[in-house]
Amino acid sequence: MNETLGLAGAAAALGIGMLVGLERERHKGRGDSRACAGLRTFAITALLGYVAMQIGGGLLVGIMAVSVALLVTVAYWRSLGTDPGVTSEVALFMVLALGALCNSAPELAIAIGVVVAGLLTYRQKLHHFARSQLTEREMRDGLVLLVAALVVLPLAPDRFIGPYAAINLRTICTLTVLLMAVGAVGHIAVRTLGARYGYVVSAIASGFASSIATIAAMGHLVAKEPGNIKVLSAAAMLSNLATIIQVGLILGAVDIGLLRYMWGPLLLGAAATALYGLSLMLPKPASGDNQPVKVGGAFNLKLALVIALTMTGVTFVSSMVLNHFGEVGVMVTTTLTGFADAHSSTASIGALAKAGLLPFDAIAGPTLVAISSNSLSKCLVAWVSGGRRFAAYVIPGQVLLTLAMWVGMLLH
């Protein structure tokens, strides 16, 4: 058994070395300017790391690393040019470490080796993406998202504080990061797919930031492109899919058990929205007119913060109303706040349930009340932004969506 594991580890180390070595060999160059390491060097280095770990453990691997560093330094200075780079040298040390890792975790070592080979292979595309396609604002948004997810979120305490024990800082941070991440995913989809799939893909992606704003944007386009009114109406309706998905994600982020009481309404609402939107798209749209909605940054940080802060206030008010007036008070609160945004109301309802102030099986009613009032706001926005013809397509879809979700609750 040990011999089998030893052979598997050695084979994994050799495979990693050959995989990375093959990629480096293709970009090694020729003559005096060629790189210091190729296929054979990387394969031998990976086996060196594996054997050193077998014989002397971490100490011997460290000694081998220092020895390889001396050899690489000499080769580096001998081949020093105008822009020598250190990619091959760093990759050589990585292969040595992965060869050693094959003793204890060959699967992890193989996975990392494949990622390293991929990074080396797509060097030109990555450089082009970083220099030509990635904007300054997208870079900033990516850093903000990473800081929020990897620094702020882990430090947020996971306990309920404040009057009525209704506020959980970890839940607030989780929801903020979730809204930012979903917006970033939608932005990447738009940047990747471009205008080929027209308004629909763009509207769904933009809907993750704000479905109401997306419907307003589509309504304003109707005046410029009256021939595309059905396509624009379909895009406006399908932006509701983002709202439905976000409601599910928000409840799942607060407590995965909440979805047990909402999957029926969410599924029926999504199905009704998709069918109605697709029915409006059956006639082929005019070519050249279906340009995607302009999206500036990777996500709307201001909107995410506003929703998180609004959720905090709504949660506090809902908790206070619940404490004094029972579940009827929560219905009133969610109805009023749902006109502006369904996400904050959903989040506050989920937070109340997680805090034990509202039964899990009682969240469906208040959540659908918030979605219903939000749907009414979308109808008004459609009428104001796109006029009577645009509203004539959007309003029936919003009514169908709302009824489908209420039917889903009754059937569930």
**Are residue 192 and residue 322 in the same domain, yes or no?**
yes
Where is mean pLDDT largest: 84-88, 125-129, 276-280, 288-292? Answer: 276-280
Q: What pLDDT score does 311 carry?
A: 58
Whether the Cβ atoms of residue 269 and residue 404 lie closer than 8 Å to each other: yes
DSSP secondary structure code for residue 131 in this structure: I
Q: What pLDDT score does 187 carry?
A: 62
Residue after which a domain boundary falls, among 106, 129, 152: 129
Residue 384 has pLDDT above 50, yes or no: yes
Arithmetic mean of pLDDT over the chain: 75
Look at residue 167 and give its three-state secondary structure: strand
Q: What pLDDT score does 396 carry?
A: 93
Q: What pLDDT score does 56 carry?
A: 82
- Flag the least confident range among 15-29, 85-99, 192-206: 192-206
**Are residue 28 and residue 7 in the same domain, yes or no?**
yes
Identify which has the larger pLDDT, 195 or 14.
14
What would the mean pLDDT of 187-209 be, rounded to a whole number?
64
Identify which has the larger pLDDT, 339 or 121.
121
**Are residue 362 and residue 223 in the same domain, yes or no?**
yes
Q: What pLDDT score does 337 carry?
A: 56
**Are residue 90 and residue 141 in the same domain, yes or no?**
no
**Are residue 53 and residue 107 in the same domain, yes or no?**
yes
Q: Which two tokens stand for residue 2?
A: 């040990």
Where is mean pLDDT largest: 120-134, 221-235, 337-351, 390-404? Answer: 390-404
Q: What pLDDT score does 291 carry?
A: 47
**Are residue 124 and residue 226 in the same domain, yes or no?**
no
Where is mean pLDDT largest: 21-25, 108-112, 219-223, 324-328? Answer: 108-112
Can you give the pTM of this predicted structure? 0.50
pLDDT bin (cut points 50, 70, 90) of residue 398 is: very high
DSSP string, 284-299: PPPTT--PPPP--SSS
**Are residue 201 and residue 267 in the same domain, yes or no?**
yes
- Segment 265-283, tens digit of pLDDT: 889 989 999 999 888 877 5
**Are residue 91 and residue 141 in the same domain, yes or no?**
no
pLDDT bin (cut points 50, 70, 90) of residue 404 is: very high
**Are residue 208 and residue 267 in the same domain, yes or no?**
yes
Residue 195 has pLDDT above 80, yes or no: no
pLDDT bin (cut points 50, 70, 90) of residue 5 is: low
Residue 286 has pLDDT above 60, yes or no: no
- Look at the chain and report how many structural domains it folds into: 2
pLDDT bin (cut points 50, 70, 90) of residue 293 is: very low
Whether the Cβ atoms of residue 238 and residue 203 lie closer than 8 Å to each other: yes
**Are residue 162 and residue 59 in the same domain, yes or no?**
no
% of the chain at pLDDT higher than 70: 66
Residue 336 has pLDDT above 70, yes or no: no
Identify which has the larger pLDDT, 383 or 305.
383
- Segment 133-173, tens digit of pLDDT: 666 777 777 788 888 888 888 888 777 666 666 677 787 77
Name the residue range of residue 110's domain. 2-129
365-371-375 Cα angle (round to 5): 140
Residue with token string 């992606």: 205
Per-residue b or e along 290-300, where b marks 16 or more CB atoms closer than 10 Å to that residue's CB: bebbebebbbb
Residue 152 has a CB neighbour count (10 Å cut-off) of 14
What would the mean pLDDT of 307-317 be, rounded to a whole number?
63
Residue after which a domain boundary falls, among 79, 97, 129: 129
Three-state SS annotation for 366-385: HHHHHHHHHHHHHHHHHHHH
348 burial class (0-12, 13-18, 19+ CB within 10 angstroms)? buried
Q: What pLDDT score does 1 carry?
A: 42
**Are residue 122 and residue 155 in the same domain, yes or no?**
no
% of the chain at pLDDT higher than 90: 5
Residue 136 has a CB neighbour count (10 Å cut-off) of 8
Q: What pLDDT score does 52 carry?
A: 87
The sign one gets for the Cα dihedral 351, 352, 358, 364 is negative
Pick the closest to residue 405 from 249, 205, 261, 207 (CA basis). Answer: 261
Residue 290 has pLDDT above 60, yes or no: no
pLDDT bin (cut points 50, 70, 90) of residue 65 is: confident
**Are residue 261 and residue 210 in the same domain, yes or no?**
yes
Residue 289 has pLDDT above 50, yes or no: no
Residue after which a domain boundary falls, among 129, 152, 175: 129
Whether the Cβ atoms of residue 381 and residue 239 lie closer than 8 Å to each other: no
Identify which has the larger pLDDT, 335 or 125.
125
